[in-house]
Amino acid sequence: MGNNPKVSVIIPVYNAQRHLEKCVNSVINQSFDDLEVILINDGSADSSGQMCDEFAGRDKRIRVFHQSNKGISYTRQFAIDNATGDYIQFVDSDDWIEANTLAELYGYAAKNDLDVIGSNFVMDLGSKNKNIICQYPTPDKFREAVISNEWGVVWKHFMRRNLFSENGISFPSGINHGEDYIVCVKLLLATNKIATLNLFGYHYNYIPTDTSLTRNSGIKSTLDQIYATSVVEEFIDSNPAFARYKAALTKRKLYCSQNLITDSSNIIFKHLRLKLASALKFVSLRSVPAFFVLMAAKLKMIADSFLKS
């Protein structure tokens, strides 16, 4: 490839053989063809790595990297470091995009000299789809929505690549959930050249799979999300100009607290269910409500301490 492409499409790949062909085909068949496609095989145990090499053999715009499993955060940062396009679009390997998506996004960015564009998306639910509207009238409303927990994910944002290096923004190491929340917030706070486009180009496959890179749930995910929120809070606190976003951040903290209570409760009930059933044989029935009240109070204390931090 001679001159640098206008868009780098980054697709992290991990055990994605079921959906990968549809995902990659949706990118290379775009009406906009001034692009490169970066496939990073993150230690897949299935045929995903071989499929990536076959794609590259058929289309010179595709670049493939293979690595041992390092997680989504490391993989995304590696891709950014190796991208050459003016703009970056992330696509998860089990998602896909409409044929005019990149033409619409790049055209809007170039026409309006934008650094970040947010857009709507389609949530694919198997037997039906749901359109998710993400439109905000001002840059501040855009930032507030993402900070408060409204889809702060990188695949929903079309980003100027230099925005990362010029502002020292990178994906954090050590977490695989919430890492894109940190990046999205920092990108949106780094520039005023942001806007949303009324486009339903991205299809988000909401059917969870065991091998999904980003959609696992549970206590580990919740703890990563809490850590990501604390990183964003520290970043906002570091600049007095960002103080107006603290109310939005409180909404995000409340969301994380609710998830922590739910996940902790599930773990407690899962591991203590049999022991509790046995123990209840030896206690008065009147003490059972008190047990659950004390448990709820303890979990609420954990959530309150996070909200106050």
Q: What percent of the chain has pLDDT over 70?
A: 81
CA distance 221 to 21: 28
Is pLDDT above 50 for 47? yes
Inter-residue contact 199 to 107 (CB < 8 Å) = no
Is pLDDT above 80 for 303? no
Q: Examine the fold and report which residue of 147, 176, 211 is the final residue of a domain before the chain moves on.
A: 211
Residues 70 and 170 placed together within one structural domain of the fold: yes
Which residues are CB-neighbours of 211 under 8 A, at least 6 positions away?
Answer: 14, 15, 16, 46
- Beta strand pairing call for 35-42 and 62-67: parallel
Give ∠ CA 88-162-122 in degrees, rounded to 5: 25
Mean pLDDT over residues 279-294, rounded? 55
Q: Answer whether residue 128 is part of any domain.
A: yes
CATH number at residue 96: 3.90.550.10
Residues 105 and 126 placed together within one structural domain of the fold: yes
Residues 86 and 184 placed together within one structural domain of the fold: yes
Residues 55 and 126 placed together within one structural domain of the fold: yes
The pLDDT, as a whole number, for residue 262 is 72
Is pLDDT above 60 for 283? no
CA distance 255 to 228: 13
Give ∠ CA 89-7-55 in degrees, rounded to 5: 80
Average pLDDT, the chain: 88
CA distance 116 to 149: 18
Is pLDDT above 70 for 284? no
Residues 125 and 254 placed together within one structural domain of the fold: no
Q: Examine the fold and report which residue of 211, 230, 265 is the final residue of a domain before the chain moves on.
A: 211
Q: Answer whether residue 2 is part of any domain.
A: no
**Tokens 């992330």 found at:** 90
The pLDDT confidence band at residue 302, using thresholds 50, 70 and 90, is: low
The pLDDT, as a whole number, for residue 174 is 83
Residues 88 and 36 placed together within one structural domain of the fold: yes
Domains held by the chain: number: 2
The pLDDT confidence band at residue 307, using thresholds 50, 70 and 90, is: low
The pLDDT, as a whole number, for residue 1 is 46
CA distance 53 to 62: 9
The pLDDT, as a whole number, for residue 134 is 95
Distance of CA 12 to the CA centre of its chain: 12
Q: Examine the fold and report which residue of 211, 233, 259 is the final residue of a domain before the chain moves on.
A: 211
Which residues are CB-neighbours of 236 under 8 A, at least 6 positions away?
Answer: 147, 189, 242, 243, 245, 246, 249
Is pLDDT above 70 for 267? no
**Tokens 């809007």 found at:** 108
Residues 198 and 236 placed together within one structural domain of the fold: no
Cα Rg for the chain, rounded, in angstroms? 22
Half-sphere exposure of residue 231, counting CA atoms within 13 Å on the CB side?
22
pLDDT in tens, 159-204: 999 999 999 999 998 888 889 999 999 999 999 999 999 999 999 9
Closest residue by Cα to residue 93 from 34, 29, 49: 49
The pLDDT confidence band at residue 3, using thresholds 50, 70 and 90, is: confident
pLDDT in tens, 224-252: 888 899 999 999 999 999 999 999 999 99
The pLDDT, as a whole number, for residue 222 is 83
**The token pair that represents 228 in the structure block:** 């990501």
Residues 137 and 258 placed together within one structural domain of the fold: no
- Beta strand pairing call for 96-97 and 129-132: unpaired
The pLDDT, as a whole number, for residue 289 is 61
- Positive or negative, the CA dihedral 21, 27, 30, 36 is negative
Inter-residue contact 143 to 188 (CB < 8 Å) = yes
Task: Note down the domain range covering 223.
Answer: 217-309
Residues 125 and 231 placed together within one structural domain of the fold: no
**The token pair that represents 156 in the structure block:** 């929903």
Inter-residue contact 202 to 119 (CB < 8 Å) = yes
User: 120 vs 274, which has greater pLDDT?
Assistant: 120
Residue type, 247: A
Residues 157 and 55 placed together within one structural domain of the fold: yes
The pLDDT, as a whole number, for residue 256 is 81
Mean pLDDT over residues 27-45, rounded? 98
The pLDDT, as a whole number, for residue 96 is 98
Q: Answer whether residue 119 is part of any domain.
A: yes
The pLDDT, as a whole number, for residue 220 is 82
Residues 87 and 199 placed together within one structural domain of the fold: yes
Q: Answer whether residue 299 is part of any domain.
A: yes
Residues 203 and 249 placed together within one structural domain of the fold: no
